[in-house]
Amino acid sequence: MAKLTERQDNNALRMLPMPKGLIDFSSNDYLGLARNVDIFNKASKLLEKKGAWANGATGSRLLTGNNGLYRQLEEVLASFFGSESALVFNSGYDANIGFFSAVPQRTDVVFYDELSHASIRDGIGMGLAQSYKFKHNQLEVLSRQIDRVRERKIGSDIYVVTESVFSMDGDTPDLRALVELCASKGAYLVVDEAHAVGVFGKRGEGLLNELGLQDMVFARIVTFGKAMGCHGAAILGSDALKSYLVNFARSFIYTTGMPPHSLATILAACEHLSASGREQQQLSANISFFKDQLKNYDLEASFIPSNSAVHCCLVEGNEKVKNWSLQLQDRGFDVKPIMSPTVPKGQERLRFCLHSFNTENEIKDVLLILAELFDKR
C-alpha cells in the first residue's frame, strides 16, 4: 500500500480508462484495421471454410492447441516478412520474454538500447546472460562496449537488441550502420519491429524490409496488435531458431494457444495489407502533414524528431503533462500523457499517435490547442 500511496503522491497512479468517444490520437491502430469490417468478415469466412468451430485452443500448442490454422499462418508470415521461419506467440510481451530468457546463455552478453521496451528488459532479466544497456541510438558507444567485453569474454556470444521504431520516442536507430557494426563485431542483432509493421515497407513488412536488411539480422519480433489491428506476435528467424524456441521458450511452452478466430484475423489482415496499400499511403501523408503543421505552429522544437506514426511533445512534470492531456481531452481529442516512471523524470511527454483515418482538420485543430497551451505557460 505504501508504494501505491507514493504513486498517488507523485500523480503517477495508473488506472484503467474507459473509452470516451474522443478523436483518436492515442491508439496503436495506425491503419484503422482494428475497425475494418472486411477483415472481420474475411476472418469469419475463413473459419467457416476450415470448419474451425471452436472458441478456444483447448491447450498449449505442444498438447492440443496446435490447430491447422497455426501452420497456415506461420507459412504466410514467413512469406510475407521474407523469413525462413516464423513462430507465433500470444503477444509481443510473450515473444520478447520467451526469446531473451531462453536464447542468450549464461556465458553470453546482451547489449540493449537504454530505451528498449519493458518486455525486452523483463526477458533479459529472466535470462542467465550478462546484460548492459547502451546510450540511446549511440552506436559508437555500443562499439566500444562490445570491444571491452570481447577482451574479457573471449568466445562468448554477443547479442545486440534494439527497436526499429521506439514506442516512447517514435524515433529510429541507424539500422544500416547497426547491421554493419554487428557484422564486424560478430554480434547477433535482434530487432523489435512492433511499431514499424504496417507503417514501413512496401506492404507494411517493417523498416528492415524497407531498407533491404531483413536477411542481415538474427531475429525479428513483429506484433499484430498495432498497425495490423488484431492480436498476437511472431518471432522471425531461421528454422533452427524456431525449433529452439519451441523447446526452450517458457512463454511459448507453458501457455494456452490463441483461439482460432485470432489466427484467422491475422491471416485476413496480412491478406489485406498485401492487396491494398491505401491506408499506409494515407498514414504517410498524414505524418508529413503533421510535421508541416508543427512548423506552422512553431512547435517543432518541443517534439522529438520522428518519421513514424508516433510523435512526442515533451512537457516536463507529471502534474503538468497530465493537466495538458485532460485539457486536450476536454476539447475532444484523445491524447495520452506518458508520465514518469514509464519515462525518465523530466522527460514526460504528450504522445500523439497518428492514423490513416485522422483528417487534416483534426490534425490542425489538435495542434492549435497544443500551441495555445504553450502560449499560456
Q: What is the mean predicted confidence (pLDDT) over 204-217?
A: 97
Indicate if 115 and 178 belong to the same structural domain.
yes
Number of domains composing the chain? 2
Over residues 55-112, the pLDDT tens digits come to 999 999 999 999 999 999 999 999 999 999 999 999 999 999 999 999 999 999 999 9
Output the pLDDT for position 17. Answer: 82
Output the pLDDT for position 143. Answer: 98
Indicate if 288 and 326 belong to the same structural domain.
yes
CA distance linking residue 318 with residue 339, whole number of Å:
5
CA distances from 119 to 161, 235, 301 (A): 12, 14, 30
Q: What is the pTM of this model?
A: 0.94
Q: Cell numbers 491447450 label which residue?
A: 59
What is the span of the domain harbouring residue 103?
37-275
For the cut 80, the answer to whether the pLDDT of residue 227 exceeds it is yes
Question: Which CATH number does the domain housing residue 267 bear?
Answer: 3.40.640.10
Percent of the chain with pLDDT over 90: 89
Query: Domain boundary at 247, 275, 303, which?
Result: 275
Question: Which CATH number does the domain housing residue 314 bear?
Answer: 3.90.1150.10
Output the pLDDT for position 377. Answer: 67
Query: Domain boundary at 275, 308, 341, which?
Result: 275
Query: Domain boundary at 275, 310, 343, which?
Result: 275
Over residues 240-275, the pLDDT tens digits come to 999 999 999 999 999 999 999 999 999 999 999 999
Per-state percent for the chain, helix, strand, coil, to nearest 5:
45, 15, 40
Are residues 200 and 53 in contact, defined by beta-carbon separation less than 8 angstroms?
Answer: no
Over residues 305-315, the pLDDT tens digits come to 999 999 999 99
Say if residue 362 is exposed, middle or buried (CB neighbours under 10 Å; 0-12, 13-18, 19+). middle
pLDDT band, very low/low/confident/very high, at 153 (cuts 50, 70, 90):
confident
